[in-house]
């Protein structure tokens, strides 16, 4: 059963509201109707062919309606009010399903069973008295992010960069890391092709986390109305699970497409365009969406969160676009996928110097903060040394050491898309580097050997290390602890002896 199946017939609603209108004009998925004086914003309307729409704009004698279905629309057809605000049906059984923004299943697994809660897709964001400080670290399982651009539960972090630079891979790694911890994950695909949906579905099934994930999908074949509603349906589903006391991670992929769809709708409605032809309220549209995420105290006094990862696409690494800068202004930081890093073979291709996390650092332990400062300083020195080396000539020994160490840090940050690494084991891997384990190996050989260590890690061979790392408070303790494991690691890598 979906939100439309519980609706009554045209005649029933006509009898109920006593108001009948007619379609004056049709422009793609937008229609103009007359004769409904009592119509309210966001109210559902229904045509004589049982096609449904949403009241989006009210004029003196007419109304602008966004239609969900467009097959049988014709000028002159009858329309009536429903006196019902648009709501979507949500329950626990959405987990593991692929649905459209109207909560209709599109995965071929049959209807979503169970009693439904019908919730409006437009809800006021939690007020300041409910909100709590972001203080708990959220592991993405990706080393460069967890160390240099850390996230916290309840944070809103923009993931930005050109298409095909690895943004989806990071999002899936984060979902994998969090779903394994029991966090409910909602992935909203806005105007994405079915092939993208299948790739994501396959990844989630491969790691057996689809049952903790809900995919809300709007494809380019859907009317603009459906695509426009996708992020609102996603955040409403996230709020449902949050209000049940569960932490939620939601991905909006992507809001640049959503902005284009809203621009298309606004132009169809003949609303005055603003900067870059986007409507003037586009900032408000996205800001109110982002405000609904956050870390709050619920009615039972429990701390629960919705962590939002909106995505924005850039063109040729340009971070100064209108929608991109809007989203930067309303989020708690951004992770920048750099085309130049991608061309160099970095995976993930994140530019740590142009990425920022405004609230994530406060969630980290002192040892993590100390290590992050040290790594950033080393990478700055490494970049300077590389610039010097471009002039040719014999390099001083100290400069050679800086370059070698920088290359090894970059090798550590290169990570397989299907590998997630816990925070404690990330510290162990850096401990190996800092304690001199890789001193006699070059960066390429180290990368190969590090991958072998990760293979053993994925097989569960280092669980005792992770428990012990939890007790370590500073880098010196970390180096001393890891040195004791040098013989074990050498034994694992004995084929290199």
Q: Which long-range contacts (CB under 8 A, 24 or more apart) does 275-282 make?
A: 275/322, 276/321, 276/322, 276/323, 278/322, 278/323, 282/323, 282/326
Gyration radius of the chain over CA positions:
26
The boundaries of every CATH 2.40.30.20 domain in the chain are 10-84
Per-residue pLDDT tens over the stretch 162-212: 999 999 999 999 999 999 999 999 999 999 999 999 999 999 999 999 999
Please state, in angstroms and rounded to a whole number, the distance separating the CA atoms of residues 139 and 321. 30
358 is catalytic: yes
Do the beta carbons of residue 155 and residue 330 sit within 8 Å? no
Closest C-alpha among 52, 12, 15 to residue 33: 52
Please state, in angstroms and rounded to a whole number, the distance separating the CA atoms of residues 290 and 374. 33
State the catalytic residue, choosing from 358, 373, 384, 423.
358
The boundaries of every CATH 3.40.50.300 domain in the chain are 89-364
Give, for all 497 residues of the chain, the pLDDT tens digit: 455 555 678 999 999 999 999 999 999 899 999 999 999 999 999 999 989 999 999 999 999 999 998 888 999 999 999 999 999 999 999 999 999 999 999 999 999 999 999 999 999 999 999 999 999 999 999 999 999 999 999 999 999 999 999 999 999 999 999 999 999 999 999 999 999 999 999 999 999 999 999 999 999 999 999 999 999 999 999 999 999 999 999 999 999 999 999 999 999 998 888 898 999 999 999 999 999 999 999 888 899 999 999 999 999 999 999 999 999 999 999 999 999 999 999 999 999 999 999 999 999 999 999 999 999 999 999 999 999 888 777 888 999 999 999 999 999 999 999 999 999 999 999 999 999 999 999 999 999 999 999 999 999 889 889 889 999 999 999 999 999 999 999 998 865 44
Q: Which residues, at least 6 apart from 299, have a Cβ–Cβ distance to it below 8 Å?
A: none
Second-level CATH architecture of 367-496:
Up-down Bundle (1.20)
| DSSP-assigned beta bridge partners for residue 311 | 159
Please state, in angstroms and rounded to a whole number, the distance separating the CA atoms of residues 150 and 144. 9
Please state, in angstroms and rounded to a whole number, the distance separating the CA atoms of residues 470 and 112. 42
Closest C-alpha among 258, 248, 242 to residue 214: 248
Do the beta carbons of residue 167 and residue 195 sit within 8 Å? no
Do the beta carbons of residue 126 and residue 294 sit within 8 Å? yes
Using the 8-state DSSP alphabet, how is residue 105 labeled?
A: B
Please state, in angstroms and rounded to a whole number, the distance separating the CA atoms of residues 476 and 419. 28
54: three-class secondary structure by DSSP: strand
Correct CATH for 10-84 of 3.30.365.10, 2.40.30.20, 3.30.2130.10, 3.30.1200.10: 2.40.30.20
Do the beta carbons of residue 91 and residue 114 sit within 8 Å? yes
Domain 89-364 has CATH 3.90.1150.220: no
Please state, in angstroms and rounded to a whole number, the distance separating the CA atoms of residues 181 and 138. 10
The boundaries of every CATH 1.20.150.20 domain in the chain are 367-496
Please state, in angstroms and rounded to a whole number, the distance separating the CA atoms of residues 159 and 295. 19
Per-residue pLDDT tens over the stretch 135-149: 999 999 999 999 999
Indicate the helix (H) or strand (E) that contains 489.
Answer: helix 486-492
């Amino acid at each position: 059963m979906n939100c439309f199946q519980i609706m009554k017939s045209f005649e029933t609603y006509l009898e109920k509201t006593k108001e009948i209108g007619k379609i004056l004009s049709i422009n793609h998925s937008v229609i103009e109707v007359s004769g409904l004086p009592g119509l309210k914003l966001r109210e559902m309307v229904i045509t004589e062919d049982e096609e449904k729409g949403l009241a989006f704009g009210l004029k003196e004698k007419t109304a602008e309606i966004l239609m969900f279905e467009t097959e049988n629309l014709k000028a002159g057809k009858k329309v009536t009010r429903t006196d019902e605000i648009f709501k979507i049906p949500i329950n626990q059984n959405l987990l593991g399903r692929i649905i459209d923004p109207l909560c209709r299943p599109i995965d071929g697994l049959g209807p979503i069973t169970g009693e439904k809660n019908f919730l409006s897709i437009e809800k006021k964001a939690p007020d300041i008295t409910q909100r709590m400080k972001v203080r708990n670290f959220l592991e993405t399982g990706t080393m460069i992010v967890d160390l240099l651009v850390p996230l916290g539960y309840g944070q809103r972090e923009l993931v930005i960069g050109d298409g095909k630079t690895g943004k989806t891979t990071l999002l899936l790694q984060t979902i994998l890391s969090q779903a394994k911890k029991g966090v409910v994950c909602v992935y909203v695909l806005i105007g994405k092709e079915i092939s993208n949906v299948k790739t994501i579905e396959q990844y989630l099934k491969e790691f057996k986390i689809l049952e903790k994930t809900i995919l809300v999908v709007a494809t380019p074949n859907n009317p603009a109305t459906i695509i426009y509603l996708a992020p609102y349906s996603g955040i409403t589903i996230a709020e449902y699970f949050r209000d049940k006391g569960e932490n939620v991670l939601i991905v909006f992929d992507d809001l640049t497409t959503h902005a284009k769809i809203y621009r298309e709708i606004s132009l169809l409605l003949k609303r005055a365009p603003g900067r870059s032809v986007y409507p003037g309220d586009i900032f408000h549209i996205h800001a109110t969406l982002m405000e609904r995420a956050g870390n709050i105290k619920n009615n039972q006094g429990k701390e629960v969160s919705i962590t939002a990862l909106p995505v924005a696409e850039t063109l040729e690494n340009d971070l100064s676009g209108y929608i991109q800068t809007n989203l930067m202004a309303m989020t708690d930081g951004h992770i920048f996928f750099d085309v130049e890093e991608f061309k160099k073979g970095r995976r993930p291709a994140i530019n740590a110097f142009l990425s920022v996390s405004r609230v994530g650092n406060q969630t980290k332990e002192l040892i993590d903060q100390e290590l992050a400062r040290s790594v950033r300083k080393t990478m700055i020195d490494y970049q300077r040394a590389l610039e010097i080396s471009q002039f040719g000539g014999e390099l001083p020994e100290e400069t050679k050491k800086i370059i070698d160490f920088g290359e090894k840090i970059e090798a550590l940050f290169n990570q397989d898309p299907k590998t997630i690494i816990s925070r404690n084991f990330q510290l162990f891997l850096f401990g190996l580097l800092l304690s001199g384990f890789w001193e006699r190996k070059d960066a390429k050989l180290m990368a190969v050997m590090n991958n072998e260590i990760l293979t053993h890690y994925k097989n569960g061979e280092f669980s005792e290390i992770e428990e012990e790392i939890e007790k370590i408070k500073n880098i010196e303790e970390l180096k001393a602890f890891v040195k004791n494991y040098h013989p074990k690691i050498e034994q694992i890598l004995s084929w290199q002896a």
